[in-house]
Structure 1
Amino acid sequence: MGPWTLFLVLLLSIFEQFHFEATEEKLDIWDPSFCRGGLGVKYPELEVSECLIVPKLLRKKISMVWQAPRIIFSAAHEKRKYVLVMVDPDASANSASAYWLHWLVADIQGASFGKGQIEGTTLTDYRPPTPPRDAGLHRYQFMLFEQPQDANVILTEKEKESRGNWDLDAFLKRVGLGAPVATFQFLTQNYND
């Protein structure tokens, strides 16, 4: 390692300790089309509206300290209802269509987004991102669907039993949800890695 390389590595590590915003790595090669529609997520020290990798300095907080984030969607129609889904598609090794369900809220009033809060029916309580050690980066995906007026969005008994191996596609078909109106994701890994 040359002296300039060593200097740059040292400088970057010092800078990382004081300015975590500058270390956010945008996902321009991993699932770039997933983040669309203006959906944003706001944690106490991390507000993101673009796909990114969570900085190492914040990984423990996002996994162990912070509660459910605020969801931002300025394009919401006041009189419509929405369904919010948060999943980890990388947690299940059993099937490519299985997800780990982290959060599910239905009947969200469009007007509540303007107030900066989600007013709806929580079907699955928020569970923070907690990828296992040595598992690498996991994607945490937020999908917002417009809920049809007559849709009765509920979980089956089987879906209530386990968050793991959740079949998102089967759920969407069963309750009659179309394509998401907005999607967002971030990547993080175990804070000890």
Structure 2
Amino acid sequence: MKLLAAVLVALSLLLPGAWGSEASRTCIFQTLSESDSEFCRGDLEVIYPEVGDVSCSYIPKCHGYRRQLSHEWGKPRVRYPWAKKHKKYVLVMVDPDSPNRADPRNRFWRHWLVTDILGSDLRAGKIRGKVLTSYSRPKPPRYSGYHRYQFRLYRQPAHESIALSPEEQDSLGTWDLKDFVENFHLGYPVASTQFLTKHYED
């Protein structure tokens, strides 16, 4: 991540016209504050091909990255190098700050939910399994400040068939993540990470 930031800064200095804009001189993926970085555990990588691993960082506004994240980029590669090859895993992506961090009355907003992911695929950054909620791009509302987009990886108990209730399928918001985890005996995440972003015009 730090290497990527250094490369982006170097390119901004070398490209013609780079000095014409303040954004191009300061395009750095800043790491999260100490309190937010504590959520990042277990070396879980979230990789958007256009920029690389965004785990435990802020998405910068420069080069249109926030806009592209919300409107153009597809789902990221999620890689967990310590996955057990023959075990299965559950990947959850949620926004705990809906509609904003000060008043998260729609917590948790579900952005992606995949079960039955083989550890061998996770090691390669391939999320193949049973998709219970298709990937939804992060789209923080205008003037709502920074939102955390959290990725939680659970080991799936053997022979456990996981599904959403009809009520859960009908709504992405106000999802009871704790209840879901307890119902299917998922326990604590084996790894977790997050990135922060806000509306691209803010």
TM-score, normalised via structure 2 length: 0.83
How far does residue 115 in structure 1 lie from its aligned partner after superposition?
Answer: 3.2
Partner amino acid, structure 2, of 1:79: H
> Would you say 1:145 and 2:154 are equivalent positions?
yes
1:72 to 79, 84, 93: 79
User: 1:29 maps to which residue?
Assistant: 34
2:135 is aligned, of 126, 131, 145, to: 126
The answer to whether the 8 A contact 1:88-1:99 is kept is yes
- Structure 1 residue ranges, 4+ long, deviating more than 6 angstroms after superposition: none
Letter of the 1:74 partner, please give it: P
When the two chains are superposed, the root-mean-square deviation of aligned CA atoms in Å is 2.0
CA–CA distance in 2 between the matches of 1:148 and 1:72? 20
| Structure 1 residue 191 corresponds to structure 2 residue 200 | yes
Q: Which residue of 2 aligns with 1:176?
A: 185
| Maintained 8 Å contact 1:84/1:106 | yes
CA contact (8 A) 1:38 1:49 kept: no
- Equivalent AA in structure 1 for residue 180 of structure 2: F
Whole-Å Cα distance in 2 between the matches of residues 94 and 32 of structure 1? 20
Q: Which ranges of structure 2 fall in alignment gaps of 5 or more residues?
A: 1-17
Matches within 5 A, 1:1-193: 14=21, 16-17=23-24, 20=27, 23-48=28-53, 50-57=55-62, 58-92=65-99, 93=103, 95=105, 98-193=107-202
Deviation at 1:95, TM superposition (A): 4.0
Q: TM-score, normalised by structure 1?
A: 0.86
- Label 1:12 to 1:142 Cα distance change in 2 as closer, same or farther (>3 A): farther
Asked whether the equivalents of residues 87 and 119 of structure 2 are also in contact (C-alpha less than 8 Å), the reply is yes
> Which structure has greater strand proportion?
1
Query: How far apart are 1:49 and its partner, in Å?
Result: 5.7
SS at match of 1:104: strand
Give 5+ residue unaligned stretches, structure 1. Answer: 1-10
Which whole-Å CA distance do the structure 2 matches of 1:165 and 1:103 have between them?
Answer: 14
- Is the CA contact (8 Å cut-off) linking 1:84 and 1:143 kept in structure 2? yes
Q: Which amino acid aligns with 1:151?
A: E
Residues 94 and 51 of structure 1: CA distance in aligned 2, closer, same or farther (over 3 Å):
closer
